[in-house]
Amino acid sequence: MSLRTRPLSPHLGIYRWQIGNTLSILHRITGVALGAGLLALSFWLVSLAGGEDSYRTTARLFESPAGLVCLFGWTFSFLFHLFNGVRHLCWDIGRGFERTSRHASGWFAVLAALCATLATWAMLWHCGRL
Amino acid sequence: MSLRSPLGRVLGAGSAKDGTGHWWAQRVSAVALIPLTLWFFWSLLLLPTLDYTTVHTWLSVPLSAFLAVLLVAVTAYHSYLGTNVVVEDYVHAHSAKLFLLLLLRFLYVLCGGAGIFAILRIALLNP
Protein backbone atom coordinates (compact mmCIF):
# COMPACT_ATOMS: atom_id res chain seq x y z
CA MET A 1 0.00 0.00 0.00
CA SER A 2 1.22 3.51 -0.71
CA LEU A 3 1.94 6.03 2.00
CA ARG A 4 -0.50 8.91 2.09
CA THR A 5 0.82 12.45 2.23
CA ARG A 6 -0.23 13.53 5.67
CA PRO A 7 -0.58 17.13 6.84
CA LEU A 8 2.50 18.38 8.64
CA SER A 9 2.72 21.08 11.26
CA PRO A 10 4.39 24.25 9.93
CA HIS A 11 8.13 24.49 10.40
CA LEU A 12 9.32 26.59 13.35
CA GLY A 13 10.85 29.16 10.98
CA ILE A 14 7.53 30.65 9.87
CA TYR A 15 6.49 31.83 13.32
CA ARG A 16 6.99 35.44 14.37
CA TRP A 17 9.11 35.79 17.49
CA GLN A 18 6.86 36.76 20.38
CA ILE A 19 7.18 36.63 24.13
CA GLY A 20 5.27 33.31 24.33
CA ASN A 21 7.25 31.17 21.89
CA THR A 22 10.56 32.86 22.75
CA LEU A 23 10.22 31.99 26.43
CA SER A 24 9.04 28.47 25.59
CA ILE A 25 12.22 27.89 23.60
CA LEU A 26 14.33 29.63 26.25
CA HIS A 27 12.81 27.30 28.87
CA ARG A 28 14.09 24.32 26.90
CA ILE A 29 17.51 25.83 26.23
CA THR A 30 18.01 26.72 29.90
CA GLY A 31 16.77 23.24 30.86
CA VAL A 32 19.39 21.58 28.67
CA ALA A 33 22.04 23.98 30.02
CA LEU A 34 21.07 22.98 33.55
CA GLY A 35 21.50 19.33 32.57
CA ALA A 36 25.11 20.19 31.79
CA GLY A 37 25.15 22.05 35.11
CA LEU A 38 24.22 18.83 36.91
CA LEU A 39 27.26 17.20 35.29
CA ALA A 40 29.41 20.05 36.64
CA LEU A 41 27.79 19.78 40.07
CA SER A 42 28.53 16.05 40.29
CA PHE A 43 32.09 16.67 39.11
CA TRP A 44 32.49 19.30 41.85
CA LEU A 45 31.06 16.95 44.52
CA VAL A 46 33.31 14.08 43.44
CA SER A 47 36.36 16.32 43.56
CA LEU A 48 35.29 17.51 47.03
CA ALA A 49 35.06 13.90 48.20
CA GLY A 50 38.47 13.24 46.65
CA GLY A 51 40.28 15.52 49.08
CA GLU A 52 41.84 18.94 49.24
CA ASP A 53 44.10 18.67 46.18
CA SER A 54 41.45 17.48 43.76
CA TYR A 55 39.01 20.09 45.12
CA ARG A 56 41.51 22.87 44.57
CA THR A 57 42.11 21.74 40.98
CA THR A 58 38.37 21.79 40.26
CA ALA A 59 37.90 25.12 42.04
CA ARG A 60 40.61 26.64 39.84
CA LEU A 61 38.71 25.36 36.80
CA PHE A 62 35.53 27.11 37.95
CA GLU A 63 37.46 30.29 38.78
CA SER A 64 38.93 30.52 35.26
CA PRO A 65 37.29 33.05 32.89
CA ALA A 66 35.50 30.27 30.98
CA GLY A 67 34.39 28.72 34.28
CA LEU A 68 32.99 32.02 35.51
CA VAL A 69 31.09 32.54 32.24
CA CYS A 70 29.57 29.06 32.67
CA LEU A 71 28.64 29.77 36.30
CA PHE A 72 27.03 33.06 35.27
CA GLY A 73 25.08 31.25 32.54
CA TRP A 74 23.98 28.55 34.99
CA THR A 75 22.85 31.21 37.47
CA PHE A 76 20.60 32.82 34.85
CA SER A 77 19.45 29.42 33.53
CA PHE A 78 18.51 28.27 37.03
CA LEU A 79 16.64 31.45 37.95
CA PHE A 80 14.81 31.73 34.63
CA HIS A 81 13.90 28.03 34.57
CA LEU A 82 12.63 28.43 38.16
CA PHE A 83 10.46 31.51 37.48
CA ASN A 84 9.18 30.26 34.13
CA GLY A 85 8.65 26.81 35.65
CA VAL A 86 6.37 28.30 38.30
CA ARG A 87 4.54 30.02 35.43
CA HIS A 88 4.07 26.62 33.77
CA LEU A 89 2.85 25.09 37.03
CA CYS A 90 0.27 27.90 37.34
CA TRP A 91 -1.00 27.09 33.84
CA ASP A 92 -1.16 23.43 34.82
CA ILE A 93 -3.64 24.26 37.57
CA GLY A 94 -5.59 26.39 35.08
CA ARG A 95 -4.46 29.88 36.15
CA GLY A 96 -3.09 32.78 34.15
CA PHE A 97 -4.15 31.78 30.64
CA GLU A 98 -5.53 35.21 29.63
CA ARG A 99 -3.53 37.12 27.08
CA THR A 100 -2.62 39.98 29.42
CA SER A 101 -1.57 37.83 32.37
CA ARG A 102 0.29 35.44 30.06
CA HIS A 103 2.36 38.32 28.67
CA ALA A 104 2.82 40.00 32.04
CA SER A 105 4.00 36.81 33.75
CA GLY A 106 6.35 36.12 30.83
CA TRP A 107 8.02 39.51 31.04
CA PHE A 108 8.14 39.17 34.80
CA ALA A 109 9.93 35.81 34.53
CA VAL A 110 12.66 37.14 32.20
CA LEU A 111 13.18 40.43 34.00
CA ALA A 112 13.10 38.87 37.47
CA ALA A 113 15.63 36.23 36.35
CA LEU A 114 17.90 38.91 34.85
CA CYS A 115 17.68 41.12 37.96
CA ALA A 116 18.24 38.21 40.35
CA THR A 117 21.24 37.00 38.31
CA LEU A 118 22.82 40.45 38.29
CA ALA A 119 22.02 40.94 41.98
CA THR A 120 23.64 37.60 42.86
CA TRP A 121 26.85 38.37 41.00
CA ALA A 122 26.90 41.96 42.21
CA MET A 123 26.66 40.62 45.76
CA LEU A 124 29.49 38.15 45.14
CA TRP A 125 31.63 40.93 43.69
CA HIS A 126 30.74 43.32 46.48
CA CYS A 127 31.72 40.78 49.15
CA GLY A 128 35.05 40.26 47.40
CA ARG A 129 34.25 36.69 46.42
CA LEU A 130 35.24 37.13 42.78
CA MET B 1 -15.27 1.32 12.91
CA SER B 2 -11.66 2.36 13.26
CA LEU B 3 -10.36 5.33 11.32
CA ARG B 4 -6.77 4.14 11.62
CA SER B 5 -4.91 2.84 8.60
CA PRO B 6 -3.92 -0.85 8.54
CA LEU B 7 -0.25 0.14 8.26
CA GLY B 8 -0.54 2.43 11.28
CA ARG B 9 -2.07 -0.41 13.30
CA VAL B 10 0.64 -2.88 12.31
CA LEU B 11 3.41 -0.38 13.12
CA GLY B 12 1.84 0.31 16.48
CA ALA B 13 1.59 4.01 15.63
CA GLY B 14 -0.72 6.36 17.48
CA SER B 15 -0.92 7.19 21.15
CA ALA B 16 1.88 5.72 23.28
CA LYS B 17 -0.67 5.46 26.14
CA ASP B 18 1.86 6.30 28.83
CA GLY B 19 2.32 10.06 28.45
CA THR B 20 0.35 10.99 31.56
CA GLY B 21 2.79 9.32 33.94
CA HIS B 22 5.71 11.17 32.35
CA TRP B 23 3.81 14.48 32.52
CA TRP B 24 2.98 13.99 36.20
CA ALA B 25 6.50 12.92 37.13
CA GLN B 26 7.88 16.04 35.44
CA ARG B 27 5.52 18.30 37.45
CA VAL B 28 5.93 16.58 40.80
CA SER B 29 9.73 16.63 40.51
CA ALA B 30 9.51 20.31 39.47
CA VAL B 31 7.56 21.17 42.63
CA ALA B 32 10.08 19.27 44.78
CA LEU B 33 12.95 21.11 43.12
CA ILE B 34 11.66 24.58 44.05
CA PRO B 35 12.64 24.33 47.75
CA LEU B 36 15.63 22.04 47.12
CA THR B 37 17.34 24.26 44.54
CA LEU B 38 16.60 27.45 46.50
CA TRP B 39 18.11 25.86 49.62
CA PHE B 40 21.25 24.89 47.69
CA PHE B 41 21.56 28.29 45.99
CA TRP B 42 21.17 30.18 49.28
CA SER B 43 23.48 27.87 51.21
CA LEU B 44 26.30 28.34 48.70
CA LEU B 45 25.82 32.12 48.72
CA LEU B 46 25.76 32.28 52.52
CA LEU B 47 28.94 30.25 53.03
CA PRO B 48 31.71 32.70 54.01
CA THR B 49 34.11 31.17 51.46
CA LEU B 50 34.04 28.25 49.07
CA ASP B 51 37.38 26.77 50.14
CA TYR B 52 37.80 23.07 50.84
CA THR B 53 37.41 23.13 54.63
CA THR B 54 34.31 25.34 54.61
CA VAL B 55 32.45 23.37 51.93
CA HIS B 56 33.51 20.01 53.36
CA THR B 57 32.40 20.98 56.88
CA TRP B 58 29.08 22.27 55.55
CA LEU B 59 28.37 19.07 53.59
CA SER B 60 29.34 16.89 56.58
CA VAL B 61 26.33 18.17 58.51
CA PRO B 62 23.68 15.42 58.22
CA LEU B 63 20.88 17.80 57.14
CA SER B 64 23.01 19.39 54.40
CA ALA B 65 24.13 15.98 53.14
CA PHE B 66 20.57 14.62 53.16
CA LEU B 67 19.17 17.61 51.26
CA ALA B 68 22.10 17.53 48.82
CA VAL B 69 21.43 13.84 48.08
CA LEU B 70 17.76 14.67 47.43
CA LEU B 71 18.79 17.62 45.26
CA VAL B 72 21.08 15.54 43.05
CA ALA B 73 18.59 12.67 42.80
CA VAL B 74 15.53 14.78 41.95
CA THR B 75 17.50 17.06 39.60
CA ALA B 76 18.85 14.05 37.72
CA TYR B 77 15.34 12.60 37.43
CA HIS B 78 13.72 15.88 36.36
CA SER B 79 16.51 16.64 33.88
CA TYR B 80 16.37 13.10 32.51
CA LEU B 81 12.64 13.45 31.84
CA GLY B 82 13.13 16.86 30.21
CA THR B 83 16.06 16.00 27.94
CA ASN B 84 14.24 12.82 26.91
CA VAL B 85 11.42 14.94 25.50
CA VAL B 86 13.93 17.18 23.72
CA VAL B 87 15.51 14.16 22.02
CA GLU B 88 12.09 12.71 21.14
CA ASP B 89 11.05 16.03 19.61
CA TYR B 90 14.12 16.90 17.58
CA VAL B 91 15.87 13.63 16.68
CA HIS B 92 13.87 11.92 13.96
CA ALA B 93 16.12 9.07 12.75
CA HIS B 94 15.02 6.00 14.70
CA SER B 95 18.49 4.56 15.38
CA ALA B 96 19.95 7.91 16.44
CA LYS B 97 16.98 8.54 18.70
CA LEU B 98 17.25 5.15 20.38
CA PHE B 99 21.00 5.56 20.80
CA LEU B 100 20.66 9.04 22.34
CA LEU B 101 17.83 7.99 24.68
CA LEU B 102 19.91 5.07 25.97
CA LEU B 103 23.01 7.26 26.25
CA LEU B 104 21.06 9.83 28.28
CA ARG B 105 19.74 7.14 30.60
CA PHE B 106 23.23 5.78 31.28
CA LEU B 107 24.69 9.28 31.62
CA TYR B 108 22.09 10.40 34.15
CA VAL B 109 22.40 7.29 36.32
CA LEU B 110 26.19 7.64 36.19
CA CYS B 111 26.17 11.38 36.94
CA GLY B 112 23.50 11.21 39.66
CA GLY B 113 25.05 8.10 41.20
CA ALA B 114 28.53 9.67 41.29
CA GLY B 115 27.19 12.85 42.90
CA ILE B 116 25.21 10.98 45.55
CA PHE B 117 28.11 8.63 46.29
CA ALA B 118 30.42 11.61 46.72
CA ILE B 119 28.05 13.28 49.20
CA LEU B 120 27.64 10.06 51.21
CA ARG B 121 31.40 9.63 51.30
CA ILE B 122 31.84 13.15 52.63
CA ALA B 123 29.06 12.82 55.20
CA LEU B 124 29.71 9.27 56.41
CA LEU B 125 33.51 9.09 56.25
CA ASN B 126 33.89 12.33 58.15
CA PRO B 127 37.42 12.28 59.61
* Residue B52 belongs to domain with CATH number: 1.20.1300.10
Domain count along chain B: 1
What residues 73-102 of chain A have any CB closer than 8 A to a CB of chain B?
A: 78, 82, 85-86, 88-89, 92
Name the residue facing B45 among A34, A39, A120 (closest C-beta).
Answer: A120
Residue B3: pLDDT band by 50, 70, 90 thresholds?
Answer: confident
Q: Which CATH class is domain A19-126?
A: mainly alpha
Q: What is the mean pLDDT of residues B49-57?
A: 95
Start-to-end CA span in chain A (Å) = 67
A55: distance to nearest CA of chain B, Å? Answer: 7
Taking CA atoms, what residue in A is nearest to B84? A32
A92: distance to nearest CA of chain B, Å? Answer: 9
SS3 B91: coil
For B34, the domain range is 21-124
Chain length of chain B: 127
Q: Are A19 and A103 in contact (CB under 8 A)?
A: yes
Name the residue facing B7 among A1, A39, A86 (closest C-beta).
Answer: A1
Q: What distance in Å separates the CA atoms of residue B78 and residue A15, rounded to the nearest whole number?
A: 29
pLDDT tens digits along B7-45: 888 887 777 777 889 999 999 999 999 999 999 999 999
Residue A15: pLDDT band by 50, 70, 90 thresholds?
Answer: confident
- A29 CB within 8 Å of a chain B CB: no
pTM of the model: 0.90
Q: Are A77 and A47 in contact (CB under 8 A)?
A: no
Q: Residue A24: list chain B partners with CB under 8 A.
A: none
Mean pLDDT value across chain A: 93
Q: Residue B34: list chain A partners with CB under 8 A.
A: 82, 85-86
Q: What is the mean pLDDT of residues A50-55?
A: 96
Q: Is A108 left (phi over 0), alpha (psi -120 to 50) or beta?
A: alpha
pLDDT at B51 (0 to 100)? 94
Q: What percent of chain B shows pLDDT beyond 70?
A: 98
A34: distance to nearest CA of chain B, Å? Answer: 8
pLDDT tens digits along B72-93: 999 999 999 999 999 999 998 9
- A68 CB within 8 Å of a chain B CB: no
pLDDT at B93 (0 to 100)? 92
- A39 CB within 8 Å of a chain B CB: yes
Q: What percent of chain A shows pLDDT beyond 90?
A: 84
pLDDT at A121 (0 to 100)? 96
Q: What distance in Å separates the CA atoms of residue A59 and residue B121, rounded to the nearest whole number?
A: 19
Taking CA atoms, what residue in A is nearest to B55? A48
Instruction: Judge if ipTM > 0.85.
Output: yes
Would you tell me how many other CB atoms lie within 10 Å of the CB of residue B122?
22
Tell me, yes or no, whether B1 lies in a domain. Answer: no
Tell me, yes or no, whether B11 lies in a domain. Answer: no
B94: distance to nearest CA of chain A, Å? Answer: 18
